[in-house]
Amino acid sequence: MLMRTSSLSLTEQLVTRFTERIRNRLLAAGARLPSVRQCAAQHGVSPHTVVAAYDQLVAAGLVEARKQRGFYVRDIHVSKPHQAADQQNIAGAAIKKIAVADLPGGLSLRASTGLTGRLQARIDATALIRGMFHHNRGGLGTHWPQPGMGVFPPDWLESDFMSAAVRKVTHSKSLIEMSLKYGEPKGDSGLRNALSIKLRDLNIDVPTERIITTVGATHGLDIVSRTLLKAGDCVMVEEPGWAVEFARLDALGMRILPVPRRADGPDVEVMAQYCKAHAPKLFVSVSVFHNPTGYTLSPGSAHRVLQLANQHDFHIVEDDTYSHIAPQHATRMCALDGLQRTIYVSGFAKILAPNWRVGYIAAPADLVERMLDTKLLSTLTTPALLEKAMALCIEQGHLRRHAERIRNRLDAARTRSVKLAMQAGCTFAAEPAGLFGWVDTGVDTDVLAQHMLDDGYLLAPGALFHASRNQPSTLMRINFASTQEAGFWKAFGKQRSKL
């Protein structure tokens, strides 16, 4: 609550609070501020105080007032006014070039592609990422589990074998030798060989020479995009889907074609109509423990998608970031396709060492050299020291045993989180599985997220996982590892009751 004993007036305190959140991108461009009445009730002040605060935010260029609609956060990260206009003109021209197809379920490209508000998805995604580094307890606490985060809590990942592996590969002679020269272009051969063996457990048979290491899985996805696409190309992406992927493709100038994700896989009918109307070059998919729903692809759906790719000549990039906590027998398109039209991307940030930034690509033979060229242009090579340490963790079985412990702990946490969520009046829009839960709160989660910031919690509202945030959502993604404590759900229930 605001402090009446502070040297700052209540209006100044409210302005300061909103200003910090907007500048830290915890309130994204385009986000609607609470109504005057809601804000007054939330902070225990008069409507006059809120109006005065909002007027100051408007005067500072942080917020814009829209007649009969309310107050909205402006995009303060566009450096010059004409640049914002240019972006809108570019977006408008792009939309006009796209012939709107008649899609099932009333889908509209205009409403779904995100082209009507470029940069918006980028900032929304970075808001969640920036929250990972926001250490002020007044905003977000370092030791306070965050329900919207996409990672395991640090204490879950602690181990002795990681430091032992680093010590082993950095004894004095090796450290000097590896530090004074670049590593292998494709990545450490020992790690790539270990990965080739590991992938066989997933029925993905790929030789060492077709594996390229990357600076994390996100870098792998970026290499694929920069190799296969050019600005203006159409890319199919599952919706709801990973906000960072929407933002990354948007930043590269791609036309995003959202494909509804169902329990058994993507909506193939929508994909087929996109193929006829827009000739997409790429489809980005999370087959196993899809983010944010937790869905896993069925064999029948996988076959239909692969048939469509062959018929319409597009590639599929399969993001298997959560492979370490998933069943080995789960359906992966790369296994069925034999890495012909499919490209496999994964890494170790989620399960083992976020700051090591070790990821990799397994690619079709005819794309390996092109992707290697893209890697060399972006990072030259990747750090051999940590790649060698990672190879040791795999070869000695440490990673496998560590992943088993994480899976067992996650199963228990998921059970507790589901129980608490349901006690708090939530329902699940998808069967709980994997790291994430897709929860229906019954209220607008964009508004709820703003309220929860006051209690120090960063949420991941449902609209964040759509290519366009034009429609409010009652859904939110929760991290089962971070929502198994009653304290969060008590704060959630309190704030939810106010909406």
Bridge partners, residue 433, by sequence: 436
291 within some domain: yes
Residues 167 and 56 in one domain: no
Write down which residue in 364, 394, 424 finishes a domain: 394
Window from 107-121, 269-283, 448-462 with minimum mean pLDDT: 107-121
More confident residue, 425 or 87: 425
Q: For residue 68, give the CATH number of its domain.
A: 1.10.10.10
Is pLDDT at 465 greater than 50 in this prediction?
Answer: yes
Distances (CA, A) of 64 to 53, 69, 89: 13, 11, 20
Determine the residue type at 325. Answer: I
Residues 59 and 181 in one domain: no
Q: For residue 365, give the CATH number of its domain.
A: 3.40.640.10
pLDDT, the chain, mean: 86
Distance CA 74, CA 19 (A): 11
Whole-number pLDDT of residue 86: 41
Distance CA 121, CA 468 (A): 7
Whole-number pLDDT of residue 358: 96
Is pLDDT at 148 greater than 60 in this prediction?
Answer: yes
pLDDT bucket at 302, cuts 50 / 70 / 90: very high
Write down which residue in 349, 366, 394 finishes a domain: 394
Whole-number pLDDT of residue 125: 62
Q: Which two tokens stand for residue 364?
A: 């079709």
45 within some domain: yes
Q: Rounded to the nearest 5°, which phi and psi values hold at 238? A: -65, 140
Smallest Cα–Cα separation from 301: which of 288, 314, 319, 282?
288
Whole-number pLDDT of residue 415: 97
Cβ neighbours of residue 396 closer than 8 Å, sequence gap 6 or more? 161, 165
Taking only the tens place, the pLDDT of each residue in 398-423 is: 999 999 999 999 999 999 999 999 99
Taking only the tens place, the pLDDT of each residue in 59-111 is: 999 999 998 889 999 877 654 444 444 434 433 333 333 333 334 444 444 33
Whole-number pLDDT of residue 127: 61
Taking only the tens place, the pLDDT of each residue in 163-188 is: 999 999 988 677 877 888 888 999 99
Residues 379 and 237 in one domain: yes
Residues 33 and 181 in one domain: no
Number of domains in the chain: 2
Residues 56 and 169 in one domain: no
Q: Which two tokens stand for residue 47?
A: 């409507």
Mean of the pLDDT values across residues 314-336?
Answer: 94
Smallest Cα–Cα separation from 157: which of 387, 323, 356, 290?
356
Range of 18's domain? 10-73
53 within some domain: yes
Rg (CA), the chain: 23
176 within some domain: yes
Whole-number pLDDT of residue 166: 92
190 within some domain: yes
More confident residue, 91 or 460: 460
pLDDT bucket at 144, cuts 50 / 70 / 90: low
181 within some domain: yes
338 within some domain: yes
Taking only the tens place, the pLDDT of each residue in 207-223 is: 999 999 999 999 999 99
Bridge partners, residue 344, by sequence: 318, 362
Smallest Cα–Cα separation from 283: which of 262, 263, 312?
312
* Element (DSSP H or E) covering residue 490: helix 486-496
Distance CA 94, CA 250 (A): 12
More confident residue, 142 or 331: 331
Would you say 71 and 63 are in contact if contact means Cβ atoms under 8 Å apart? yes
Distance CA 55, CA 152 (A): 41
33 secondary structure, DSSP code: P
pTM above 0.85, yes or no: no
Distance CA 436, CA 426 (A): 15
144 within some domain: no
% of residues, the chain, pLDDT over 90: 63
Whole-number pLDDT of residue 490: 94
Smallest Cα–Cα separation from 39: which of 54, 25, 58?
54
Q: Which two tokens stand for residue 484?
A: 């198994």
Write down which residue in 39, 73, 107 finishes a domain: 73
Residues 192 and 314 in one domain: yes
Is pLDDT at 287 greater than 50 in this prediction?
Answer: yes
Whole-number pLDDT of residue 124: 57
Whole-number pLDDT of residue 182: 86
Distance CA 14, CA 454 (A): 12
Window from 86-100, 192-206, 437-451 with minimum mean pLDDT: 86-100
Taking only the tens place, the pLDDT of each residue in 363-397 is: 999 999 999 999 999 898 898 999 999 999 999 99
